[in-house]
Amino acid sequence: MSARRAALPQLVPRPHTLTPHPGRFPLGPDTALRAGPGAGAAVALLRELFAPVTGGPLDPGAPGGRIVLSSDGDPAELGAEGYALTIGPDSVLLRAARHEGLLHGVQTLRQLLPPAALGAGAGPLPGLSLPCLRITDGPRFAWRGAMLDVARHFQPASYVRRFVDLLALHKLNVLHLHLTDDQGWRIPVPGYPRLTGTGARRRESEGDGTPHGGAYTRAELTGLVDYAARRGVTIVPEIEMPGHTRAALAAYPHLGNRPDVTLEPWTRWGVCENILGVHDEVLDFCRAVLDEVMDVFPGPYVHIGGDECPATEWHASTAARERAAREGLSGPEALHGWFMRTVADHVVARGRHPLGWTGNGAELPGAFTVAAWLDPDHGRTAALRGHDVIMTPHRSTYLDYPQSADPAEPRGQDGGVVDLRGVYDNEPAPPHWEPEATRRILGTQAQLWTEYASTPAQLEYLAFPRLCALADTAWSTHRDWPDFRRRLDHHHDRLAALGVRARPPHRDHDGA
Ligand code: ACM
């Protein structure tokens, strides 16, 4: 029993059912790869990932054992993103009801290879084989994501593509790109060239004396959208408003409440008092930005921020107070809800879903899907108010907090520790919640804020292995910490082969 158990494939996230069978399917230069109905894109991805290590072209007519992918499966049986994988000694059959399921199955096949086969430039590996087995699999939640903050520290499109690859490996299907903030604006917008000029570069960060900047071109962003889609990942763009906008105000002071004051992109972290004004030109600006964002990012969701917006400047501004009165609002604080509603109407008019950061959703209209980032119970209250909810509670999904209280741990966000166990124990829809709340929980995602992570190595240290725990929580209904730890031990070898600078397992002092 123990030998058989040791040989069981250790997959992350955990598949719904896995039944091992005797034997192995040999993979080599003469292996054939065939596309059944609707499988073209998944076959292309499998060929891209497998051909270098099998050493053959994976032609449909090759004389060896065959791998067949087909999306003619029954959705009632397999689910929208599910798949069934049968590996026998002579053939591999991967079936799904949809393209997305096939892409997840391709990632499972990838994890069934020896870890060395995942490394870039591994080259042909003689004697490769896959274990015979049957897997039926599908996710618990439709929204399984990670937010990457490219505003605090910019990462080039080439790195974002690698990050997409890492998400796809873990069957995570949403990349939320935080594209703008006080410290930098990263997306070009026609008619507003200074956003990615003045607005994309800051003089220093917290007194370090080192300038930082960067912005994407439109072609890089549309290329990223396409690259991610081919891996089953949807990009959700975020444009922060009306707070967290100082980089835009540095570029265009007339968008603020004090057009006479010249600002620079913020050189500090935290919550900034400079926010957008509420005059018509600002609303026109927001609509122009969102029009470009919706042209570049075709996905259903557009995140429009909404968090941490002090109303100090609105209180001090005659124009803002007059706007509040004209709109029949109780006072300048109420401009926040009015602003979000007004901008969201534009997103809704174009057939998209606005998404916002919120506490309990009270300030946002029902059209908003909300990311509940404070108390997890806010997610429940927001759901009961009728919002769809993404669970993003900071105490278990903010990966910018340090992973332990060890003083040797790299600097992270102040105010807490989020350890691996804490991420794993995040329950996006607790069983004691009302069914009408649970029904509206779309899923969960990790947050990689980057105040303290400027390089890919620092980012990946924060992300891994905690993102593996989040992927397991979002995908599988099965909660079993020792089982997760066992699978993760194997999975670390895959991450190492991929060059991921994960936090080493020996540093975990979390009661494994
Ligand atoms: C947030 O962490 N301010 C959403």
Three-state SS string across 65-118, please?
CEEEEECCCCHHHHCCCCEEEEECCCEEEEEECCHHHHHHHHHHHHHHCCHHHH
Cα(401)–Cα(420) distance, rounded to whole angstroms?
11
Ligand 1 geometric centre to CA of 316 (Å) = 25
pLDDT on residue 2? 40
Ligand 1 geometric centre to CA of 357 (Å) = 7
Say whether pLDDT at 449 is over 70: yes
The pLDDT tens digits of the residues spanning 194-212 come to: 999 999 999 999 999 999 9
Ligand 1 geometric centre to CA of 372 (Å) = 9
**Mean pLDDT rounded to a whole number for the chain:** 95
Say whether pLDDT at 511 is over 70: no
At 504, the pLDDT band (50, 70, 90 cuts) reads confident
Question: DSSP 3-state assignment of 149?
Answer: strand
- 373 Cα nearest atom in ligand 1: 4
Ligand 1 geometric centre to CA of 394 (Å) = 8
Q: Is the CB of 373 under 6 A from ligand 1?
A: yes
pLDDT on residue 506? 65
Q: Read off the amino acid at residue 285.
A: F
Residues 361/378, Cβ–Cβ less than 8 Å: yes
Average pLDDT over residues 372-390: 95
Percent of the chain with pLDDT over 70: 97
Q: Read off the amino acid at residue 388.
A: D
pLDDT on residue 508? 54
The pLDDT tens digits of the residues spanning 270-292 come to: 999 999 999 999 999 999 999 99
At 122, the pLDDT band (50, 70, 90 cuts) reads confident
Q: Is the CB of 307 under 6 A from ligand 1?
A: yes
Average pLDDT over residues 81-92: 98
In sequence order, which residues have a C-beta less than 8 Å from that of residue 416 and are 6 or more positions away?
Answer: 394, 395, 401
At 366, the pLDDT band (50, 70, 90 cuts) reads confident
Catalytic residue IDs: 181, 244, 308
Residues 304/221, Cβ–Cβ less than 8 Å: no
Ligand 1 geometric centre to CA of 363 (Å) = 16
Say whether pLDDT at 374 is over 50: yes
Pocket test for ligand 1, best of 149, 239, 244, 308 (most atoms within 8 A of CB): 308
Q: Is the CB of 357 under 6 A from ligand 1?
A: yes
The pLDDT tens digits of the residues spanning 403-419 come to: 999 999 999 999 999 99
Ligand 1 geometric centre to CA of 247 (Å) = 17
Burial class (CB in 10 A: 0-12, 13-18, 19+), 91: middle
pLDDT on residue 498? 97
**Other Cβ atoms within 10 Å of 134 Cβ, number:** 15
Average pLDDT over residues 364-380: 93
Cα(375)–Cα(258) distance, rounded to whole angstroms?
34
pLDDT on residue 460? 98
Ligand 1 geometric centre to CA of 280 (Å) = 27
Q: Read off the amino acid at residue 122.
A: A
Ligand 1 geometric centre to CA of 373 (Å) = 7
Among protein residues, the one with the nearest Cα to ligand 1's atom 3 is: 307
The pLDDT tens digits of the residues spanning 102-116 come to: 999 999 999 999 999
Pocket test for ligand 1, best of 244, 357, 399, 451 (most atoms within 8 A of CB): 357
Average pLDDT over residues 465-490: 97
Strand partners, 463: none
Percent of the chain with pLDDT over 90: 92
Cα(463)–Cα(328) distance, rounded to whole angstroms?
46
**CA distances (Å), origin 71, targets 94, 95, 103, 111:** 8, 6, 10, 21
pLDDT on residue 512? 41
Kindly compute the dihedral angle of the four CA atoms of residues 333, 337, 339, 345, in this order, to the nearest 10 degrees. Answer: -170
Pocket test for ligand 1, best of 176, 181, 269, 373 (most atoms within 8 A of CB): 373
pLDDT on residue 3? 42
At 75, the pLDDT band (50, 70, 90 cuts) reads confident
- Domains of the chain from N-terminus onward: 17-137 (3.30.379.10), 143-497 (3.20.20.80)
Return the half-sphere exposure (C-beta side, CA atoms, 13 A cut-off) of residue 428. Answer: 31
Q: Which of 320, 190, 185 is nearest to 264 (CA)?
A: 185
Average pLDDT over residues 469-497: 97
Cα(293)–Cα(23) distance, rounded to whole angstroms?
51
At 471, the pLDDT band (50, 70, 90 cuts) reads very high
Query: What's the DSSP call for residue 398?
Result: B
> Residue 147 corresponds to which tokens in the numbers above?
């937010």
Among protein residues, the one with the nearest Cα to ligand 1's atom 2 is: 373
- 394 Cα nearest atom in ligand 1: 2
The pLDDT tens digits of the residues spanning 3-16 come to: 444 479 999 999 99
- 357 Cα nearest atom in ligand 1: 4
pLDDT on residue 274? 98
- 244 Cα nearest atom in ligand 1: 3
- 447 Cα nearest atom in ligand 1: 2
At 509, the pLDDT band (50, 70, 90 cuts) reads very low
The pLDDT tens digits of the residues spanning 455-466 come to: 999 999 999 999
Residues 153/183, Cβ–Cβ less than 8 Å: no
pLDDT on residue 507? 59
Q: Is the CB of 374 under 6 A from ligand 1?
A: no
The pLDDT tens digits of the residues spanning 159-179 come to: 999 999 999 999 999 999 999
Cα(454)–Cα(465) distance, rounded to whole angstroms?
19
Question: DSSP 3-state assignment of 369?
Answer: strand
pLDDT on residue 319? 97
Among protein residues, the one with the nearest Cα to ligand 1's atom 1 is: 307
